[in-house]
Amino acid sequence: MKKTLLTAALVAVVGGGVAFWFLSAPTSLEAGVPDAKREPSAERGEQVFWAGGCASCHARPGADGDARLELAGGVELKSDFGTFVAPNISPHPQDGIGGWSDTDFANAMLHGVSPSGEHYYPAFPYPSYARMSRADVNDLFAFIQTLPVVEGDAGAHQLSFPFTVRRGIGLWKLAFMHETPVVALGDDAAEAERRGQYLVEGAGHCGECHTPRNFAGGQLYDQWLAGAVSAEGEGIVPNVTSGDGGIDSWSAGDIAYYLESGFTPEFDSVGGAMVSVQKNMAQLSKDDRDAIAAYLKAVPGKSNGYPSSR
């Protein structure tokens, strides 16, 4: 009897291990498989770059002006799971991504997988970037290749066990990552709302900060954009829906002007981490800022997603 139970337990452990190994395996695009049906454009890629907020994390801490195009990395993102360090993504062939192929870059952006086949940590907002088109990703890669080559490694993440085990991120992806839109826009939705949805839910990755998360760090999509406790544990990221505590009193024009100028309807100015984001948004076309505003006004209103005591 004991031998039978031991054998059953061993089979269960082995079976569980095999299941974990297969379920957590990285999913990647295959090299040489046809992708977008247009030639990559660095000019288009520059707009994707600003929409995606690449400089906010990958420029040196505190960089301004043209220095925001020197993607040396080094920004530290503190969280309950440890401190993540944004890497060098300049075109440096060793320290950056100058040796990557377009497929390597697309795998990183759309699947969160490195050229060596490892999972990236979702501090890199690929769960949102997964909603981007391959054509836009190719354009972004083309633009990054035109930026200054910067030497130097940005440093390693500061994590402790079990968060050092990257393989487990595969299960996290299965549970919390999907490419489908968060908000179901109606068939009669305006084109601007659809464009805004693509920018907000995808490249702009607004939900990464403005949506509350569960214990495992997955976004609570039923509270989409309702605001959240800051990832660093101090302060809050505001509710940007039209719900209680949100931006119901703001018009679409107010939102678009805020993204362009950094000034609220109450003549307050942008602050905190949003300063860098607003600088990015100011680089977008007026049509894209208007589209973001149109989408935010279409998002279902939610009550604040963070404790009222904060």
Q: Looking at residues 93-108, what average pLDDT do you find?
A: 95
Mean pLDDT, residues 17-35 taken together = 50
Find tokens 């690449």 and name the residue.
54
What's the mean pLDDT in 216-233? 86
Taking the model in full, what pTM does it have?
0.87
Average pLDDT of span 126-134: 96
Q: Does residue 28 surpass a pLDDT of 90?
A: no
pLDDT at 235: 79
In whole numbers, what is the pLDDT of the chain averaged over residues? 86
Lowest mean pLDDT among 15-19, 149-153, 302-306: 15-19
Burial 12-25 (b: 16+ CB within 10 A, else e): eeeeeeeeeeeebe
Residues 5-20: tens digit of each pLDDT: 455 444 444 444 444 4
Residues 42 and 165 in one domain: yes
- What's residue 230's pLDDT? 81
Q: Kindly give, in sequence order, each residue whose CB lies less than 8 Å from that of residue 212, ignoring residues fewer than 6 positions away.
A: 219, 220, 223, 226, 227, 228, 229, 305, 306
Q: Where does the pLDDT of residue 306 fall: very low under 50, low under 70, confident under 90, or very high at 90 and above?
A: confident
Is residue 166 located within the same domain as residue 202? Answer: no
| Among candidate residues 144, 176, 208, the one where a domain is terminated | 176
Quick check: 121 pLDDT over 70? yes
Segment 78-97 mean pLDDT:
92
Same domain, 236 and 106: no
Same structural domain, 253 and 139: no
The pLDDT value recorded for residue 307 is 67
How far, in whole angstroms, is CA 183 from its chain's centroid?
17
Q: Is residue 270 part of a domain?
A: yes
Supply the pLDDT for residue 3: 53
pLDDT at 195 over 90: yes
Give the lowest-confidence range in 85-99, 152-166, 198-212, 286-300.
152-166
Q: Residue 80's pLDDT is what? A: 83
Residue of 266 and 259 predicted with greater confidence: 259
- Choose one of 176, 205, 233: the last residue of a domain: 176
242, 275: one domain: yes
> For the chain, what percent of residues have pLDDT higher than 90?
62
Quote the percentage of the chain above a pLDDT of 70.
86
The domain of 206 spans: 191-298
Asked if the structure places residue 6 within a domain, the reply is no
Range 75-94 average pLDDT:
91
**Last residue of one domain, picked from the residues 153, 176, 199:** 176
The three-class DSSP label of residue 139 is: helix
Give the span between the Cα atoms of 306 and 37, in whole angstroms. 43
- The verdict on 107 and 202 lying in the same domain is no
User: In terms of domains, do 52 and 92 share one?
Assistant: yes
Residue 230 makes CB contacts below 8 A (sequence gap 6+) with 209, 236, 237, 273
Amino acid sitting at position 42: A
Burial class of residue 85 in the structure, from the number of CB atoms within 10 Å of its CB (0-12 exposed, 13-18 middle, 19+ buried): middle
Query: Are 154 and 116 members of one domain?
Result: yes
146 in the same domain as 79: yes
Number of domains in the chain: 2
Assigned domain for 308 exists: no
- Collapse the DSSP code of 213 into the 3-class scheme (helix H, G, I; strand E, B; otherwise coil) and give the result: strand
Per-residue pLDDT at 26: 57
Looking at the structure, tell me whether residues 139 and 254 fall in a common domain: no
Question: Is 171 found in the same domain as 45?
Answer: yes
Q: Quick check: is 3 in a domain? A: no
Q: What local confidence, expressed as pLDDT, does residue 100 receive?
A: 97
Average pLDDT rounded to a whole number, residues 279-304: 95
Assigned domain for 12 exists: no
> What confidence category does residue 159 fall into, taking pLDDT thresholds of 50, 70 and 90?
confident
138/239 same-domain check:
no
* Residues linked to residue 108 through DSSP beta bridges, in sequence order: none
Residue 228 lies in a domain: yes
Angle, helices 42-52/274-282, rounded to nearest 10 degrees: 150
Mean pLDDT (whole number) for 288-305: 94
